[in-house]
Amino acid sequence: MKVCIACGMPMNEPADFAMSDSEKDYCVHCARPDGSMQSYEEKMDSLTGFIVRTQGLDRDAAKEAARKMMSRLPAWRESAAEGKRS
């Protein structure tokens, strides 16, 4: 089983991978329509929205939770270390 480098989602089935390509290191939720991986800012925005919808946090708290989560993921370690904010 692979885990998405951008959000941590387990990827078990071809449909879980970007463009259904099991060679990709990121999932369908972290891909743009053309199959490329979302930017740090795009992922921060989508993850913040997901946390607001699923956990009921206000936007500021959700954004901080997203930032902390992303800082532990391979795709964003460098961006988080640089202090990027969206």
Please say if the pLDDT value at position 85 is more than 60. Answer: no
- The domain locations on the chain are 1-38, 39-86
pLDDT, tens digit (0-9, with 9 covering 90-100), for 19-71:
999 999 999 999 999 999 999 999 999 999 999 999 999 999 999 999 999 99
Q: How confident is the model at residue 78 (pLDDT cuts 50, 70, 90)?
A: confident
pLDDT score of 86 more than 50: no
Helices (H) and strands (E) in the chain, counts: 3, 2
pLDDT higher than threshold 70 for residue 5: yes
Go through the chain and tell me how many residues it has: 86
Retrieve residue 62's tokens. 């959700």
